[in-house]
Structure 1
Amino acid sequence: MANLFPLATAILFLSVTCPHLSRAAYPIGVNYGTVADNLPPPSQVAAFLKSKTTIDRVKLFDANPDILRAFAGTGIAVTVTVGNGDIISLSKLTAAQSWVAANILPFYPQTLINRIAVGNEILATSDKTLIARLLPAMKALHSALQLAKVTNIQVTTPHSLGILSSSEPPSTGRFRRGYDRAIFAPILDFHRQTKSAFMVNPYPYFGFSAKTLNYALFKPNAGIFDAATGINYTNMFDAQMDAVYSAMKKVGYEDVEIAVGETGWPSVGDPNQPGVNMENAVSYNGNLVRHVNSGKGTPLMPNRKFETYVFALFNENLKPSTSERNFGLFKPDLTPVYDVGILRNEPEEMGTWFSMT
């Protein structure tokens, strides 16, 4: 992990000498989950992120008004989420207008709301009614924003990689049959028309085996060869992203921007999870930040930067399993579980992380 030291040094230097540049140059955000009973008040969280970190965007799993108020005036971009249970009703324009009036307009533009995520991983629910109403709800919310003269809030929906029927090697990536033309082509067309991002949640954590652990963690490995393209993939994140790109290309929408809604690695797991520990969390998230910020993109999408939201901001103590409770970059008292180069002006707080590199 010593190769991450230059990243931390560069981020710290940029933050001290040119803070506005540093906040704009690194498209790294965090998922601000609240499944816990010991988190600090939102106003404290907003002040902490603004003053102590280079994070310039957060993604919420709801449209919590206290959190939206707390981020007013911070310049930190906020993605709000429509609950899965609200999608069917919001497929009608009048309901979408009411939702926007209640959840966006009271806070915007003082709070820099930049995106509405409509539901979360809807395809994974296998609820055919919900799936059928997803795009109509996205369109209705977009129309409601336009009618309210709000033109710079994107509408999207996050997808798990379960949307793919094939992903290895990446050139074989394709959407699930029956959904490719009926569901994904229209969704991607909406993104193209509205210039918004197709959001996916790639998690090498859920795809690794003992044999592919280094491949998942961006550590040195022999790689996995894709004979169709002649590309040797040396990390699973690139492979997963390129599988999504290949699926998009097969339906004619490879030009649509991609955003990473969630990705991460827990720092503590149960005894039967040998790949889950602090060292691997530092390796995955640290290398992820470095990789995304490098601007190298992926083999099939060279020189592209992906807006990327690490999961998660906090360890959340009410999650059901040990690993789920330990995805956080920070403890509830705002001290870092570890740092991956997002703290600024606080070199003493990096001590724990540096000692591990």
Structure 2
Amino acid sequence: MLIAFAHTKIAITVTVPNEQIPHLNNLSFAQQFVKTNIVPFIPATNIVRILVGNEVISTANKLLIVNLVPAMQTLHTALVGESLDLRIKVSTPHSLGILSTSSPPSTGKFRQGYDIHVLQPLLSFLRSTNSLFMINPYPFFGCSADTLDYALFRPNSGVFDDNTQLNYTNMLDGQLDSIFSAMKLLGFSDVEIAIAETGWPSKGDEGQVGVDAESAAEYNGKLMKHVTSGVGTPLMPNRTFETYIFSLFNEDLKPGPICERNFGLFGPDMTPVYNIGVLRPTVAAAAAANKHHNIYMLIVMYICLISL
């Protein structure tokens, strides 16, 4: 898979599966992982980041959680040994489940216990290595019929935060700022935030509100404009956010609700589900894609590798 992206200049993120996290805490294993899965593809393939697991804290698996930060540190040490630490950064994505409080955004706070014992050392590691704190915000899962316009970046009256006197006109900004507030509470407001996953399903169970191809195209299209606009959020103004849209393909074999299988731009047979302006093979489209340099439409197609 990594060979297929050689000489394309496409930024590639490699994800280590959750079950490999305890093994990565061993330096010899981490070194072998890097030698086997990373070094042979550099520099032809533009690998820019390794993610250690996905939403590990939300698994409530104590073995994974206790090994998460040590595994990240050990993997970074292995990259240093190959002189790749400046080129390839190490991080891990989190769901919004790491928050105990999120509304209003100014009261955002990490869950007790995880805040000091996991997230504080994790944020310290990210700061020291100049890496990003990566989160998976999904306004779709937080909205109802009453807040659909707020979730889809449509005109609405907004949500007012009495503590800051700031008004929120979309749910994504509120989710991002709740994370920022929690980080600030621990003294890490200087660590940059990236959106590791976000998206909107094009199909769902009968009766679900706002679940159709038009709404999915609307969310992702407006998302692209918003995160690249430089406006930022009420608590993080004048900035852009590196953003990964979930996902490239529908997952027809994925268990669970219908919506969980239908976040993709394409069906399993490569048929486009909808178009948000990134599928046109024209010079104009290529120029537009370059303009939105921090939106990644290889869309959480993370390459999961299992080290030998």
Answer whether TM exceeds 0.5 for this pair. yes
Task: Give per-residue Cα distances to partners, 1:93-128, cap 9 Å, x unaligned.
Answer: 111101111111111211100000000000011011
State the percentage of identical aligned residues. Answer: 60
Does the alignment pair 1:287 with 2:222? yes
Q: Does 1:122 align with 2:56?
A: yes
Give the TM-score normalised by the residue count of structure 1: 0.77
Per-residue deviation, residues 216-273 of structure 1 (Å, max 9, x unmatched): 1111111110000001101000000000000000000000011111000000111031
- Is the partner of 2:51 in helix, strand or coil? strand
TM-score with structure 2 setting the length: 0.89
Task: Note the 1:269-280 alignment, pairs <5 A.
Answer: 269-280=204-215
Residue 77 (structure 1) aligned with residue 21 (structure 2): no
Find the aligned partners of 1:157 and 1:303 in 2 and give their Cα distance.
Answer: 25
Equivalent position of 2:46 in the other structure = 112
Moved over 4 A (4+): none
My pick for the range that moved more, 138-147 or 103-112, is 103-112
Following the alignment from structure 1 to structure 2, what is the Cα–Cα distance between the partners of residues 172 and 274?
Answer: 28
- Aligned pair count reads 283
C-alpha distance in structure 2 between counterparts of 1:158 and 1:285, whole Å: 20
- Report the secondary structure of 1:149's partner residue: coil
Is 1:257–2:192 an aligned residue pair? yes
Q: Give the alignment partner of residue 339 of structure 1, picking from 270, 275, 289.
A: 275
Deviates more, 1:131-140 or 1:280-289: 280-289
The whole-number CA distance in structure 1 between the counterparts of 2:270 and 2:194 is 27
- Correspondence for 1:181: 116
The corresponding residue for 2:294 is none
Is 1:141 the counterpart of 2:106? The answer is no
Match of 2:180 in 1: 245
Q: CA deviation at 1:208?
A: 0.5
Q: Secondary structure at the match of 1:106?
A: helix
Per the TM alignment, residue 333 of structure 1 is displaced from its structure 2 partner at its CA by 4.5
Does the 8 Å CA contact 1:289/1:340 hold for their aligned counterparts? no
Are 1:313 and 2:248 counterparts?
yes
Counterpart contact for 2:24–2:75, Cα < 8 Å? yes
Letter in 2 for 1:229: T
Measured in 1, the distance between the counterparts of 2:96 and 2:214 equals: 25
**Cα-to-partner distance string for 1:307-349 (whole Å, 9 max, x where unaligned):** 10000011122112321221111234444321222234449x9
Q: Give the Cα–Cα distance (whole angstroms) in 1 for the partners of residues 106 and 150 of structure 2.
A: 18
Check conservation: 2:252, 2:268, Cα contact below 8 A. no
Q: 2:157 aligns with which of 216, 219, 222?
A: 222
In the alignment, structure 1 segments of 5+ residues that lack a partner are 1-66, 350-357
Q: Is 2:254 the partner of 1:330?
A: no
Q: CA RMSD in A?
A: 1.6
Tell me if structure 1 keeps the 8 A contact 2:202–2:216.
yes
Aligned partners of 1:136 and 1:192: how far apart in 2?
Answer: 15
